[in-house]
Chains A and B, each alone.
Chain A
Amino acid sequence: KQEVTQIPAALSVPEGENLVLNCSFTDSAIYNLQWFRQDPGKGLTSLLLIQSSQREQTSGRLNASLDKSSGRSTLYIAASQPGDSATYLCSIIQGAQKLVFGQGTRLTINP
C-alpha cells in the first residue's frame, strides 16, 4: 500500500529565501508525481507534474525533482514571496486512476 509522507509539516521562512519541501513514498512503482498548492478554503492548484521517466520539472521559480529508486521528490521554491504562502501537497499517481496524497506542508513566507 502506497504511503506518502511530507516533511516538514509546517515551515515558516522570511521572504526572499530559497526553500525545499520534501516528499517521500513507499512504493516506487508510480506513473507520475504531481505537486499542488492549496490556499485556505480553496481548491487544489496543480503546480508541476513529473512523469515517472523524468527526473525534474521546472515552472518559473519552482523546480520539482523525482528520484523513484529512493522514493523521494523535492519541491524547490526560489526567492520565496508572501504569495507563496499555502499548503503544498505531493501526490503519487498510480495505476487505476488514483492519486495518493501526503498530508501537506503548510508554508508561511514572512514579509
Chain B
Amino acid sequence: DTAVSQTPKYLVTQMGNDKSIKCEQNLGHDTMYWYKQDSKKFLKIMFSYNNKELIINETVPNRFSPKSPDKAHLNLHINSLELGDSAVYFCASSQDGWGFGGTEAFFGQGTRLTVV
C-alpha cells in the first residue's frame, strides 16, 4: 500500500527518444509535484499541480510536459531526451498545497533516468 508510487524505477534510453514516467498517490491529496535531483543531489521543483491544475512550472523546458488525468495521478512526459536530462525524478504529494496548516509532503521512490 505504497503512498506515492512511481514507475519505472529505472529508465535507460537513447538521446532523442520520448519517454514517460508515471506517478500515482493513494493518499487523497490535492497537490502533486515533480522534482528533479541532479548529479550533485540537489532537489529542485519542476511542476506542481493542485486538483489537476498546473500551479508551478519552474522554468522547465517545454520538452517536459506533465499530465494530470485526475488528482491521484501526475505523469511526466519528456520529448527529445537530451544527455542533460539524466537525473533522478521524484514525484510527491501533499494535502494542502497552499502551505496553510500541517502540509506534509510525501515522496515516491524516484525514477533514475539515464540518457545515453
A-side residues, CB < 8 A to B, are 31-32, 34, 36, 41-46, 49, 51, 87, 89, 91, 93-101, 103-104
New A-B contacts (13) at CB < 8 Å, excluding given A44-B92, A46-B105: A31-B100, A31-B103, A34-B104, A41-B112, A42-B110, A46-B107, A89-B43, A91-B105, A97-B94, A97-B99, A98-B58, A100-B45, A101-B44
Q: Would you list the 3 A-B pairs with minimal beta carbon distance, nearest first?
A: A31-B99, A97-B97, A44-B107
* Cross-chain contact of A93 among B40, B42, B105, B110 (Cβ < 8 A): B105
Q: Which residues of A contact B41 (CB under 8 A)?
A: 87, 103-104
Interface residues of B in 27-43 (CB under 8 A from A): 31, 33, 35, 40-43
Q: Looking at chain B, what size class is its interface with the partner chain? A: 20 to 34
- Chain B 49-75 against A: per-residue CB contact (8 Å), 1 yes, 0 no? 010000110100000000000000000
